[in-house]
Structure 1
Amino acid sequence: MSEPIKKVCVIGAGTMGAGIAAQVANAGVPVLLLDIVRDEQDRSSVARGAVEKMLKTEPAPFMGKGAARLVETGNIDDDLAKVAECDWIVEAIVERLDLKQALYAKLEAVRRPGTAISSNTSTIPLADLTGGRSEAFTRDFLITHFFNPPRYMRLIEIVAGPQSDPALVASVEDFVDRKLGKSIVAAKDSPGFIANRLGIFWIQAAMNAAFDQGLTVEEADAIGGRPMGVPKTGVFGLVDLIGIDLMPHLMQSMTRTLTTGDAYLEIARDHPLVGKMIEGGYTGRKGKGGFYRVNRELDKRREAIDLTTGDYREMAKAIGPSGAAAKGDIGALISAPGKTGAYAWAVLGPTLSYAASLVPQAADTIVAIDDAMKLGYNWKWGPFELIDKIGAARLAERYRAEGKAVPALIEMAGDRSFYRIEEGKRQYLGLDGGYHDIVRREGILLLEDIKRTSQPLVKTGSAALWDVGDGVAALEFTGKMNALDGEVMKAVQKAIPIVQKGFKALVIYNEGSNFSAGANLGLAMFAVNIAAWGEIEKLVEGGQKALKALKYAPFPVVAAPFGMALGGGCEFVLNADAAQVHSETYMGLVETGVGLIPGWGGCGEMLDRWRSNPALPKGPIPAVAKTFETVSVATVSRSAAEAREHGFLRPSDGITMNRDRLLADAKARALAMVEGYEAPKPPEFRLPGPSGRAALKLAADAMHKRGLATDYDLVVADDLAQVLTGGDADWIDTVTEADLLKLERKAFMARIHDPRTMARIEQMLETGKPLRN
């Protein structure tokens, strides 16, 4: 292994280069960002302007404003010598070979020997990039193809040449894995590498079929979106997102570099409508609109373009596939009658055939192809997983029936699947005709692997407890959106004695799309509709008891959130001894948004954290005011770093950049706490009482006058203030944790009785958006 990477240089401050620099800074690593000189008065204005722009961009490239301070800006003319301070140089300039090679010639003169240098190119072969360079430069060179936006897209394709130093490549891979949080796919030095090679083919096939078959864009995206395991944008929505004007450049790049006989060359074609849209500035979301647009002159009417006439019309609700074809049965989808099956087959038939042709041309294994599409294009299933859903033999039969060639890999599979489970291990079919274990990178521990070879220690309708090894158990939420209900609380109460008896520590973790979206609002709505007030209060009290039982358990409890950790999900984290958090964690006590008060101890936990924060003055008011400010407006962090700033995480809580490493890191943190562990003592508070509540009411009234709070927001805020100030207690009185829990229950029940809360919950369930009543 080469020397560790302690500082990075990124050359090129465009969207990609600046985004890569931001992600390096998000990892806490200093980065030098360079670009050309455009302004003689401010020679580094390009790089500096890129940083300033990113601080205002949404979604935010920086995980916190503090990260921006780690970016040093400069220019290539004056500051290129500074690359000698850096351990990895990332070139991310315009896709022109002559300009890249001119830059490489300059870098050879100033970089330290043995420093890794890589290109973020998405189209130019590595052999062309290193042509004419020294042996030492070629040895230290590789391609690191990030996907946009670099903070949020997990995929990185790495291409090493035959002369690349394996130790240096391994050092870069370790850095982008652990520090930048990327999932690495090894690609061959072939045109477009993997994801874009197949992705561009898929987009072209889908657009061609829609035009040829006379479908509307809504129909095409309804068939070619979620039913295929593709994001709901479908193809036309995706093209709007990435930029319609990018499509001709991608096509030209592929047609220029692919060899004669490649299947893409047979389907590549210009659509006159696309050229007309680009000329008129209709380049997608970044332009006047695209295949879809919002017409602001017609009361923000959502419109779609007519693929035949080129005119915009009101967007229609397309009727997508039904039955099994709508629920992931790909065989049923491509066999469906009418336009559904015809379009699905016109897209998937050639795309799956092309995917099979890319092994070993673009990648050594089917796993690399599948991972690239799942990570780079957010497909739910990779192409070979899709083939398994159809059946390789059935697919081959259909190709033959239509007079089409059957790819050798599909022919070889025959009636076998491309993936199988053998002795608890997931295996893939190799080019040698045999099955091979899928091997994780060192240090990665996934619950999905553990579950193949074991049974849960506890299982309820919404949660399960698993042995994850080394004396650590993991509590998993399993309901829809990992919503929390009585079944989760039952699992907690069952898990505690099991862990106490046979384990050292507990981790709260799962591998869903999000840690938890909070309490099951649908269940709450049902209970209100049948006036089951006792059951609702029982659920609130049961949640309080379960979370406090975790907090005071005689063993360490570590929460490992990721994605959304909202409402009750946030309260699980707040009640744990420690948290090991994925960097992309969006935490918040959001109950006020639906007219409720945090009911599972969140108020007391936030008060306890803020009163111990050295940045706040001492006394009963500052912590109360800060908690009220955070909770009353349903603040949600936009990253784990922001969660620290908002008090949802302690300064000592850990952040994991790579989602796949979260369980291993949380388990290690839990084990490190075992020796000498003592459960915390229940906190006691001195709170300001009615006078403090009056002060908070003044603050809320000021928000209302500015139009930032609704009439009902004031009602909810007053109940929250009652809890946070200790009710009728005075600042000289001691308020216990139990007192606060009682106040939470009372406030929660008062709000859930209110029809205005029910209106908020109903809209949230129907639209996912808060009602401002």
Structure 2
Amino acid sequence: MSADPFLVRRVAVLGAGVMGAQIAAHLVNVRVPVILFDLAAREGPPNGIVDKAIEGLKKLKPAPLGLAEEAALVEAANYDQHLPRLGECDLVIEAIAERMDWKRELYARIAPHLAPQAILATNTSGLSITGLSQALPEPLRPRFCGMHFFNPPRYMQLVELIATRSTDPAILDRLETFATRTLGKGVVRAKDSPNFIANRVGIAGMLATLREVERYGLGYDVVDDLTGRKLGRASSGTFRTADVVGLDTLMHVVRTMQEQLDPALDPFHDSYATPPVLQVLLDQGRLGQKTQAGFYRKAGRDILRFDPARGEYVPAGEKADEVYARMLKKPPAERLALLRHAKGPQGRFLWAVLRNSFHYAAVHLQGIAETAADVDLAMRWGFGMKQGPFELWQEAGWLQVAHWVQEDIDAGRALSGAPLPRWVFEGPVADAGGVHTAQGSWNPAAGRFEPRRVLPVHQRQLFPEAVSGTAAPRPRSAGRTVHEDAGLRLWTLDDEVLIASLKTKMHVISPEVAEGLQRGIEWAEQDFQALVLWSPDEPFSVGADLQAMLPAYMAVGVAAIEDAQQHLQQTMLRMRYAAVPVVAAIRGMALGGGCELALHCARRVAAFESYIGLVEVGVGLVPGAGGLTYIARRAAENQRSSTHKDLLAFLTEPFTAAAMARVGTSALESRQLGYLLDSDVIVPHRDELLWVAIREAGALHDAGWRPPLRRPFPVAGRNGKATIQGQLLNMRDGGFISVHDFRIASAMAHVVTGGDVDAGTLVDEAYLMKLEREAFCSLVEHPKTQERILAMLNTGKPLRN
């Protein structure tokens, strides 16, 4: 089969359970038409089961849909009436319950209806793909494979592809291309072994953690504190993660390991025994978040944890000893040495958890994956780890850590007596100091280092996520640097498009950054075709540098604030009216000034998980870098292109979004709020963002870019302001907003309606920006705003006073 592009016109998802429905939802997110199938309902409408699942998508948290109302775009179908519609689908994803017999029965039923070019993939989390394929007719087997999504499918980056011996290799290439470019996923190809890569290593790690918890007598809250962000893993830690996944789901994966792994061949088989506490919770129907009780339970505002010794829930919230938090901030070599020789139970527990992960991954690498990179990336993308086990091991000193692990194995302290493989101590890996090198990552079956697989779609990822130790390009040093200082790097990859990358913490916009952006526009106009704003890490920008604002205010007074705001406003206008197109490549949060930065660009290219909004009210301020001016201008532009002549109708929703500090919870919702336009591009895969932005910038240049003409526009005037303030008064008097919230929103209304002028008065951006500065500076001097700013700087959370 040729490697020609895989055109997916429609997808069918079989099974409207938790995973099937959410896979369908994500297909809607990325604009792929989808039909969701399940059994015909015994009572009521035949599609009742699917209809209920689709309705449930609107209520799930975290939200599986970028826009809840788009649940209606999922088509409902049932196996009794609609199987012929499978012929319309280029990809069919089976996601029914994890029963080999049920899946095989379904395959026999659907096979006659599949299109001749269609790919059939199973979302099984651990059943044998080869075993499932035996239920298929011979001609269909080359087009069958495993395609394992992780829960929740919208947010978890990992998709594992698993082939059988009959699977056509071109099928995997097509699916990887589709999953990467269209679904925005990171793809790892796993061997057809029980639970594949991520669940195999991750669930074994969770079981091992439970055993070590019993050994060292630690509470689940302390363990989650130790095994969360402090350890470079998902913030939910071990037991909160288990509750979110569902203890029944966890037990299913465990049972797969117990039943399908041969005790004679797997030296860790004894460690897969069901932990007593897990069995107790399952017997009591406490399945985690879905039943409001698992390892944790919420009681009112209090969080309780299960105490296995007492068999009941007790108050949670205990934290790890600070000494171990400090240890975990040390460089890897020092960190692991301190943990290896720790005397306290928390330190010994942490070493045991890491030792077990190194030991398990090394022993099982050859049986589950092609290379060590596949394991590390699977654990990053599927379990939220900052580093995979091999990466951390290598950074800490390969041979030293290996000897420590082997000493524990020999002393009977490890989970298994199986020695580390010979390749750990001898040959190319030992000589290179680890499994990741510039030549690639270790493949134990082939006995060599191999680079990651490269498909044409991967060329869209200029700086793909890569494991440490490999020769992947590094964006912070790539290309030719035009200018660099503490706040900003201006550089280029092709001498045609200039790239501006912010370097400040959380990419805040300091006066120096604003100066650098203006300088970048000047250089772009002189020597380049366009300017792209892109940083190699999230967020895009959380706004103005509040940390620098208060000292300037204390030293010079409000005049310093006004000067800084005027300079920032000039930067925004400089971008809007630049002689070359300026394109914002947005990923993660674009808040406050970061949102304003994006709004003033010629085009925005946003990763799907982009969260955009004007949030200044949270620190007691109004948007002061052109955000309110943008709202007023866009309202006038929208009115001009409409037959509806009431300007206030176009102003109300964007004003309300800013006054309530609403943030789009996806790029789709950010577009709905008006922070992205229909002409802006939404990119599913975050690592393709720069590639797309550069091409969008080039296309604007090639089309003969000219900046917009500066033109006055009408405002709603004092009558519009009075209407908005009437609504604000009702909210204040009803207790929905505080007096200070009312003050801030009134100031915002004054700006967006143009102040004390008649309705329809023509104004320009400079006029409204002056009103913005006046409102901003008057609020900076207010004690309640200063309280909000200090609270945000000290706690990172907004204060409502």
TM-score, normalization by structure 2: 0.91
Instruction: Give, in whole Å, the separation in 2 of the partners of 1:454 and 1:2.
Output: 30
Residue 549 (structure 2) aligns with: 524
State the 1:430 CA deviation. Answer: 4.5
Match in the other structure for 2:425: 411
Structure 2 Cα separation of the partners of residues 141 and 376 of structure 1: 23
Quick one: distance in 2 between partners of 1:517 and 1:615?
A: 34
- Aligned equivalent of 1:286: 290
* Counterpart in the other structure of 2:482: 457
What aligned pairs does 1:338-349 form with structure 2 within 5 A after superposition?
338-349=344-355
- Does structure 2 conserve the Cα–Cα contact (< 8 Å) formed by 1:231 and 1:378? yes
TM-aligned CA distance change 1:543 to 1:327, over 3 Å? farther
Match of 2:679 among 649, 652, 667: 652
Does 1:641 pair with 2:668?
yes
Deviation at 1:437, TM superposition (A): 4.4
The answer for the alignment partner of 1:250 in structure 2 is 253
Give 1:331's aligned amino acid: L
C-alpha distance in structure 1 between counterparts of 2:701 and 2:376, whole Å: 40
Aligned residue in 2 for 1:672? 699
In the other structure, the counterpart of 1:534 is 559
- Cα distance change of structure 1 residues 608 and 338 upon mapping to structure 2, 3 Å threshold: same
Alignment of 1:134-153 (within 5 A): 134-153=137-156
Give the partner amino acid of 2:460.
Answer: G
Alpha-carbon distance in 1 for matches of 2:731, 2:337:
54
Q: How do 1:210-249 and structure 2 match up within 5 A? A: 210-249=213-252
- Is 1:303 the equivalent of 2:309? no
Tell me: CA distance 1:74–1:400, structure 2 relative to 1, closer, same or farther (3 Å): closer
Which aligned pairs between 1:398-437 and structure 2 lie closer than 5 A? 398-402=404-408, 403=410, 405-412=419-426, 413-414=429-430, 416-418=432-434, 427-431=440-444, 435-437=449-451
Inter-partner Cα distance in structure 1 for 2:154 and 2:535: 22
User: Among residues 618, 621, 631, which one is paired with 2:645 in the alignment?
Assistant: 618
In structure 2, runs of 5+ residues without a counterpart are 411-416, 465-472
Counterpart CA distance in 1 for 2:313 and 2:431 is: 47
Quote the residue 1:752 is aligned against: 780
Q: Are the counterparts in 1 of residues 553 and 560 from structure 2 also a CA contact under 8 Å?
A: no
Cα contact 1:223–1:343 (8 A) shared by 2: no
Find the partner of 2:273 among 269, 275, 296.
Answer: 269
Whether contact under 8 Å (2:359, 2:405) holds in the other structure is no
Aligned to 1:701: 729
Instruction: Judge which range, 700-709 or 96-105, deviates more.
Output: 700-709
Q: 1:466 is matched with which residue: 491, 500, 522?
A: 491
RMSD over aligned Cα, in angstroms? 2.2
Judge conservation of contact 2:575–2:582 (CA < 8 Å) in 1. Answer: yes
What does residue 161 of structure 1 align with?
164
1:662 to partner: Cα distance:
0.8
Conservation of the 8 A alpha-carbon contact between 2:714 and 2:762: yes
SS of the residue 2:80 aligns to: helix
1:98-150, CA deviations, whole angstroms, 9 ceiling, x for partnerless residues? 11111111111211223110100011111100114221111110110001111
Alignment of 1:194-209 (within 5 A): 194-209=197-212
Structure 2 residue 710 is matched with structure 1 residue 682: yes
1:726-755 CA deviation, whole Å, 9 max, x = no partner? 122323532111111111111111111111
Identical amino acids, percent of aligned pairs? 34
Say which SS state the counterpart of residue 549 (structure 1) adopts.
helix
Task: Tell me the CA shift for residue 677 of structure 1.
Answer: 1.2
Letter in 2 for 1:208: R
Q: Does the Cα contact within 8 Å between 1:608 and 1:683 map onto a contact in 2?
A: no
Residue 531 of structure 1: how far off its partner (Å) = 6.2
Q: Is the 1:181–1:657 contact (alpha carbons within 8 Å) kept by the matching residues of 2?
A: yes
Query: CA distance change for structure 1 residues 103 and 349 in 2, over 3 Å: closer, same or farther?
Result: same
Per the alignment, in what secondary structure is the counterpart of residue 220 of structure 1? helix
Q: Which amino acid aligns with 2:433?
A: S
CA distance 1:456–1:304, change in 2 (3 Å): farther
- Bigger CA drift: 762-771 or 1-10? 762-771
Question: Contact conserved, 2:480 with 2:493, CA < 8 A, in 1?
Answer: no
1:184 is matched with 187
Letter of the 1:657 counterpart? P
Distance 2:794 2:600 in 1: 30
Provide Cα deviations, 1:155-187, integer angstroms capped at 9, x if missing partner: 100112222123333222222211111111111
- Work out the CA distance in 1 between the residues paired with 2:493 and 2:754: 41
Q: Secondary structure at the match of 1:730?
A: coil
Please, which of 93, 105, 110 is the counterpart of residue 107 of structure 1? 110
Which shows bigger deviation, 285-294 or 392-401? Answer: 285-294
Count of residue pairs the alignment pairs up: 767
Distance 1:690 1:265, change over 3 A: same
Equivalent of residue 751 in structure 2, options 723, 739, 745: 723
- Alpha carbons of structure 1 residues 477 and 427: separation in structure 2 relative to 1, 3 Å: farther
Q: Deviations over 1:607-644 (max 9, x none)?
A: 22233335682344233333322211112111111122
Paired letter, 2:461: I
Is 1:574 aligned to residue 599 of structure 2? yes
- The one-letter code sitting in structure 2 at the alignment partner of 1:502 is D
Post-superposition shift, 1:450?
A: 4.1
1:460-499 alignment to 2 at 5 Å? 460-469=485-494, 471-499=496-524
Q: Which residue of 2 aligns with 1:331?
A: 336
* 1:150 aligned counterpart, secondary structure: coil
* 255-264 vs 18-27, which moves further: 255-264
Which amino acid is 2:649 matched to? Answer: P
Contact 2:286/2:294 (<8 A) preserved: yes
Contact 1:609 1:650 in 2 (8 A): no
Superposition deviation, residue 227 in structure 1: 2.9
1:241–1:767 Cα change, 3 Å: farther
Tell me, in whole angstroms, the C-alpha distance in 2 between the residues paired with 1:452 and 1:311: 55
Matched-pair contact (CA < 8 Å) for 1:374–1:381: yes
Q: Is the 8 A contact 1:27 1:179 kept in 2?
A: yes
**Partner in structure 1 of residue 467 of structure 2:** none
How far residue 17 of structure 1 moved from its aligned partner, in angstroms, is: 0.3
Q: Are the counterparts in 2 of residues 244 and 290 from structure 1 also a CA contact under 8 Å?
A: yes
User: Which residue of structure 1 aligns with residue 659 of structure 2?
Assistant: 632
Shift of 1:433: 5.9
CA, structure 1 residues 310+520, in 2 after alignment: closer, same or farther (shift >3 Å)? farther
CA contact (8 A) 2:21 2:53 kept: yes
Q: Distance in 2 between matches of 1:112 and 1:438?
A: 32
Structure 1 range deviating more: 268-277 or 144-153: 268-277
Match of residue 445, structure 1, among 443, 458, 462: 462
* Structure 1 pair 655–93 and aligned structure 2 pair: CA distance change class (3 A): same
Q: Are 2:248 and 2:287, in contact at CA under 8 Å, matched by a contact in 1? A: yes
Q: Could you tell me which residue of structure 1 aligns to residue 622 of structure 2?
A: 597
SS in 2 for 1:360: helix
SS at match of 2:399: helix
Give the counterpart letter for 1:319 in structure 2.
Answer: D
Distance 1:706 1:263 in 2: 66
Q: Which residue of 1 aligns with 2:319?
A: 317
Are the counterparts in 2 of residues 357 and 409 from structure 1 also a CA contact under 8 Å? no
- The 2-side partners of 1:487 and 1:174 are apart by 41
Alpha-carbon offset, residue 219 of structure 1 = 2.5
In structure 2, the residue matched to 1:92 is 95
One-letter amino acid matched to 1:417: G
Do the aligned residues in 2 keep the contact of 1:30 with 1:71 (CA within 8 Å)? Answer: yes
Write the distance in 2 (CA, Å) between the matches of 1:623 and 1:419. Answer: 58
Moved more, 191-200 or 275-284: 275-284
CA drift at 1:63: 1.3
Q: Matches of 1:558 and 1:582 in 2, distance apart?
A: 13
Contact 2:437 2:449 in 1 (8 A): no
**Equivalent AA in structure 2 for residue 383 of structure 1:** P
Tell me if structure 2 keeps the 8 A contact 1:555–1:679: yes
Aligned partner of 2:35 among 20, 32, 36: 32
Please say which of residues 553-562 and 626-635 is displaced more in the overlay. Answer: 626-635
